[in-house]
Structure 1
Amino acid sequence: MTAKEPRLEIEYCTQCRWLLRAGWTAQELLTTFTTELGEVALIPGTGGVFDVRLDGETLWSRKAQDGFPDLAALKQLVRDRIAPDRDLGHTDRHRKAADPATAD
């Protein structure tokens, strides 16, 4: 059996009990990108890790970005790589309204 692409990985800390957060993040991304994502993997880790990778590229690292990702921002990062022309609806409109530099 071969992996389907693109592959999104969420590595989470088992010591911190972040499985539910990782599962919820995966569910939200799978719900948004129903046909664009080939696979989503939850990877147990330790040491406070919460990293989101797409085909090996780190999109979010809790340690590097000093916190968990805002889900709307994470969806935009994923969209920008796998479906750049796709409109995320209210997620895009909410971000534009919050940032006057991107308002129409």
Structure 2
Amino acid sequence: MKPVITIEYCPKCGWLLRAAYMAQEILTTFADDVKSVSLQPAEVSGSYVIYCNDEKIFDRKEQGRFPDIKELKQMIRDKVAPEKSLGHSDKK
């Protein structure tokens, strides 16, 4: 079964557009590899957490920053399609 990516974002912080942009990039890159990307408003202020199925793969509070899109694509690729080439976004 294809994995579900969930982006939990803080609506009070105004991070919906960032989450939507990341969802668009994930769906464009992994159209054949993921079932869906869902955007979920967080109940905890300042939260921005990305899950693959129910496994946390990135937490803004733990990392002290947001992921850049290249890094996020690499993390998702490593979970859902390790053999997939990301072209210019691949690790050097």
TM-score between both structures, scaled by the size of structure 2: 0.94
One-letter amino acid matched to 1:58: K
Which sections of structure 2, spanning at least 5 residues, go unmatched? none
CA distance in 1, matches of 2:18, 2:79: 23
Q: How does 1:66-77 map to 2 (within 5 A)?
A: 66-77=64-75
- Over the residues paired in the alignment, what is the CA RMSD in angstroms? 1.1
Q: How does 1:5-24 map to 2 (within 5 A)?
A: 5-24=2-21
Q: How does 1:92-103 map to 2 (within 5 A)?
A: 92=90, 95-96=91-92
Tell me the alpha carbon deviations over residues 55-74 of structure 1, each in whole angstroms, 9 at most, x when there is no partner: 11111100001010011011
Greater Rg, structure 1 or structure 2?
A: 1
Q: How does 1:1-104 map to 2 (within 5 A)?
A: 5-45=2-42, 46-92=44-90, 95-96=91-92
Between the aligned residues of both structures, percent identity stands at 45
Aligned with 2:71: secondary structure? helix
Flag the structure with more relative contact order, 1 or 2, with Cα contacts below 8 A and sequence separation at least 6: 2
Shift of 1:5: 3.2
Tell me the alpha carbon deviations over residues 7-55 of structure 1, each in whole angstroms, 9 at most, x when there is no partner: 1000000110100000000000000001101011100014100100001
Which sections of structure 1, spanning at least 5 residues, go unmatched? 97-104
Off by >2 Å, runs of 4+ in structure 1? none
Paired residues in the alignment total 91
TM-score between both structures, scaled by the size of structure 1: 0.84
